[in-house]
C-alpha cells in the first residue's frame, strides 16, 4: 500500500457533496454580508457580525482549493501527491477562525473600556421614518438562517470523509448564527438604552469562537507535525486510529505502531519484519474506512539483535 494521487472512489461522491455545500456557502454568505453591510450603522455587534461573516468565507475557499489540489496526480516534484493540501488548508481555516475571535474580542473590550455609547438612528423609506434598528434586526434574523442549515448539512459529510477543514467550516457556521442571535440581543439592548449590551454581545460571541479556534489550531499543528490522527471534534486520538493500532498489535504481537495523519488519510509503520501475508486495508480498517489507510510499511524492530 502506498500514497498516491486522487480522491478514492469510496468518498468521491461525498467530497463532491462537500464542494457543492461550500459553493452554496459562498453564495448565501455573500448575500448575508451585503444585507448586513447595508444596515450596519454604528452598531458594534453589527460591525463584528459583518467582519465575522466575511472571514467565515475563508474555510469554504480553502476547502475547495484543497480538494482541487488533492485530485492532482503525483509528479517528480511531489512524488507522494498533494494529499497534505488538506492539512495546510486545515491550518489556514483554524487560523481564520482564531483571527475572527481575537478581532471581535479586541473590538468589544475596547468599546467597553472606553464606554462608547453606540446610537442607532432613523432612516426614511418610502416617505416614512423608521428606526434603523428594525432593519438591523431583520438583517440579523436573515443572517441566522443559512448558517444553521449549512452547518447541519456539513457535519455528517465532514465525518464521513474525515475532513477537518469542512468540520471547522461547520464550526464557523455555528459562530455565524451565534453572532446573529447575540447581535440581535445587542440591538435590542441599544433600543432599551443599555449602551453596554451591544459590545457585551459581541464579546460573548468572540469567546465562543476563540474556544473552538484554539482546539482546531492544536489539531492542525499536530497533523503537520506527523502526530497520531486526531478526532474531528477534539484533540484526542481518533477512534479509527485506536482501532487500527489494536488490530495491528493483535495480528503482529506487542509491536510498536506509529500512525501519522496525511490530510484525511493515515500512514502506518509497524516495527516488525515484513510478513509473508500483508493484510489488506479492508482487513485492518473495515470496508467503510479502507480508503483511509493510505500506506502500511514494516521495518525490523531495531531493539532486536540480528538473526
- pLDDT recorded at residue 45: 64
pTM: 0.81
State whether the Cα torsion 52-56-57-62 is positive or negative. positive
Asked if residue 293 lies in contact with residue 244, where contact means CB atoms within 8 angstroms, the answer is yes
The predicted pLDDT at position 124 comes to 63
The pLDDT value given to residue 3: 43
Backbone angles phi, psi at 226, to 5 degrees: 60, 35
Along the chain (307 residues), what's the average pLDDT of each consecutive run of 10 residues? 65 94 94 85 68 82 89 82 80 84 83 72 65 82 90 93 89 81 79 76 79 83 84 85 92 90 89 87 91 89 57
Other Cβ atoms within 10 Å of 266 Cβ, number:
25
Q: Supply the pLDDT for residue 23.
A: 96
| Distance (Å, whole) CA 89 – CA 95 | 10
Rounded Cα distance between 235 and 220, Å, is 10
Domains and CATH numbers, the chain: 9-224 (1.20.1510.10), 239-299 (3.30.300)
Amino acid 1: pLDDT:
42
Q: How many other C-beta atoms can be found within 10 angstroms of the C-beta atom of residue 3? A: 16
Residue 275: predicted pLDDT: 86
Supply the pLDDT for residue 291: 93
Amino acid at each position: 500500500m502506498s500514497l498516491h494521487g486522487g480522491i478514492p472512489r469510496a468518498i468521491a461522491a461525498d467530497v463532491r457533496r462537500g464542494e457543492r455545500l461550500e459553493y452554496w456557502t459562498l453564495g448565501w454568505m455573500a448575500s448575508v454580508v451585503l444585507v448586513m453591510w447595508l444596515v450596519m450603522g454604528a452598531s458594534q455587534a453589527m460591525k463584528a457580525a459583518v467582519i465575522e461573516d466575511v472571514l467565515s468565507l475563508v474555510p469554504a475557499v480553502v476547502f475547495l482549493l484543497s480538494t482541487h489540489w488533492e485530485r492532482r496526480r503525483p509528479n517528480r516534484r511531489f512524488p507522494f501527491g498533494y494529499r497534505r493540501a488538506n492539512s495546510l488548508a486545515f491550518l489556514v481555516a483554524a487560523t481564520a477562525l482564531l483571527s475572527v475571535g481575537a478581532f471581535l474580542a479586541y473590538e468589544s473590550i475596547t468599546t467597553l473600556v472606553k464606554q462608547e455609547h453606540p446610537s442607532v438612528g432613523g432612516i426614511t423609506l418610502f416617505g416614512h421614518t423608521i428606526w434603523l434598528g428594525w432593519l438591523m434586526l431583520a438583517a440579523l434574523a436573515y443572517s441566522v438562517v443559512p448558517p444553521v442549515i449549512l452547518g447541519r448539512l456539513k457535519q455528517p459529510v465532514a465525518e464521513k470523509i474525515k475532513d477537518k477543514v469542512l468540520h471547522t467550516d461547520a464550526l464557523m457556521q455555528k459562530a455565524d448564527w451565534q453572532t446573529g442571535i447575540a447581535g440581535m440581543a445587542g440591538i435590542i439592548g441599544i433600543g432599551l438604552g443599555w449602551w453596554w449590551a451591544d459590545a457585551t454581545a459581541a464579546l460573548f460571541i468572540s469567546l465562543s469562537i476563540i474556544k473552538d479556534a484554539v482546539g482546531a489550531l492544536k489539531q492542525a499543528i499536530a497533523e503537520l507535525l506527523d502526530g497520531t490522527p486526531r478526532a474531528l471534534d477534539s484533540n484526542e486520538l481518533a477512534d479509527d486510529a485506536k482501532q487500527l493500532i489494536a488490530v495491528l498489535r493483535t495480528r503482529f504481537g506487542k509491536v510498536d505502531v506509529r500512525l501519522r495523519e496525511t490530510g484525511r488519510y493515515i500512514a502506518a509503520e509497524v516495527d516488525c519484519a515484513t510478513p509473508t501475508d500483508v493484510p489488506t486495508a479492508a482487513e485492518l480498517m473495515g470496508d467503510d474506512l479502507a480508503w483511509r489507510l493510505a500506506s502500511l510499511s514494516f521495518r525490523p524492530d531495531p531493539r532486536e539483535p540480528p538473526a
